[in-house]
Amino acid sequence: MRKIRLPSGEEVPALGQGTWGWGEDASRRGGEVAALRLGLELGMTLVDTAEMYADGGAEEVVGEAISGRRDEVFLVGKVLPGNASREGTKEACERSLERLGTDRLDLYLLHWRGRHPLDETMEAFEELVDSGKIRHWGVSNFDVSDMEELASLPGGDAAQTDQILYNLTRRGVEYDLLPWCGERGVPAMAYSPIEQGRMLGDEALGEVAESHGVSPAQAALAWIFRREDIIAIPKAGTEDHVRENRAALDLELPEESLAALDEAFPAPNSKQPLEIL
């Protein structure tokens, strides 16, 4: 499994597992648990979840899936901005830990900016680190101006990642945010790397995929992995889908394929508003 180095020096898998949409349907729970467990066996040991997903239901599914295997997992959670006051962050973390059936999160993110001052949330993060409830912290859906504000605060350079929407159809962050993070050694974490499947019918993507004997989803993920500073967290609800995602990590697209995708999905040539799903 290819690794990405965090600012702390710790290495995590370049390909993890997302859980957005999990825990919403009890009839799918067994399949979700089995998919996540298979992903762990295949080396996809970074697992991302959030208190927002199914109002904690996704955390409960993750908790079941990692039971007895907690030490294998780099577990990522998120606090909602409405809960991100100093005390609210700590209380939200405790609730998440209970649902997950664990005593710690490896990485805890502010899901997006809200009304609470950043320094309050950071103070809570640092208290959670000191108490052993979390090991690291970071942010999600932060644009360059947000990251600059964060970096200007005491201790702001401890952020380990910015989790962002990034895929072939959402390349705006390449203009300024990804370079900003890259200069500071902060890897981005790409959610919805295949745009929840909406891009998979694109003709150019299909042609690239066919030329390599892979699925459009695998080609789209391989495009993400052309960069060495991105962690991707696609969701897979079935074991076959997990295997498909894992195989994409071993696909290296040649220059002509990358050029074809660039033509179909042009890179930005100016500042774009940060996109959020």
| Digit-coded pLDDT (tens) for 163-218 | 999 999 999 999 999 999 999 999 999 999 999 889 999 999 999 999 999 999 99
Mean of pLDDT over the chain? 96
Whether 43 is in a domain gets the answer: yes
pLDDT computed for residue 237 by the predictor = 84
Rounded Cα distance between 112 and 71, Å, is 28
Rg of the chain taking only CA atoms, in angstroms: 18
- How many domains does the chain contain in total? 1
Strands 3-5 and 11-13: antiparallel
Q: What is the CATH number of the domain that holds 220?
A: 3.20.20.100
Is residue 77 within 8 Å of residue 96, measured between CB atoms? yes
- Span 81-86, average pLDDT: 98
Render pLDDT for 6-22 as a digit per residue (tens, 0 to 9).
Answer: 999 999 999 999 999 99
Residue 265 C-alpha from the chain's centroid? 22
- pTM given for the model: 0.95
Is residue 194 within 8 Å of residue 204, measured between CB atoms? no
Whether 122 is in a domain gets the answer: yes
Q: From the candidates 53, 108, 166, 191, give the one annotated as an active-site residue.
A: 53
Q: Specify the DSSP class assigned to residue 253.
A: -
pLDDT computed for residue 111 by the predictor = 98
108 carries an active-site annotation: no
Q: Quick one: which H or E segment has residue 130?
A: helix 118-131
Whether 274 is in a domain gets the answer: no
The number of CA neighbours under 13 Å toward the Cβ of 240 is 1
- Residues near 122 by beta carbon (within 8 Å), at least 6 away in sequence: 137, 150, 153, 155, 156
Q: How many H-runs (helices) and E-runs (strands) does the chain carry? A: 10, 9
Whether 144 is in a domain gets the answer: yes
Whether 196 is in a domain gets the answer: yes
Whether 99 is in a domain gets the answer: yes
Q: pLDDT grade, residue 1 (50/70/90)?
A: confident
Boundaries of domain holding 173: 3-264
Render pLDDT for 224-266 as a digit per residue (tens, 0 to 9).
Answer: 999 999 999 999 989 999 999 999 999 999 999 999 999 999 9
- Span 98-112, average pLDDT: 98
Whether 222 is in a domain gets the answer: yes
Q: Residues of 156-190 as b/e, b for ≥16 C-beta within 10 angstroms? A: bebbbbbbbbbbbbbbbbeebbbebbeeeebbbbb
Whether 40 is in a domain gets the answer: yes
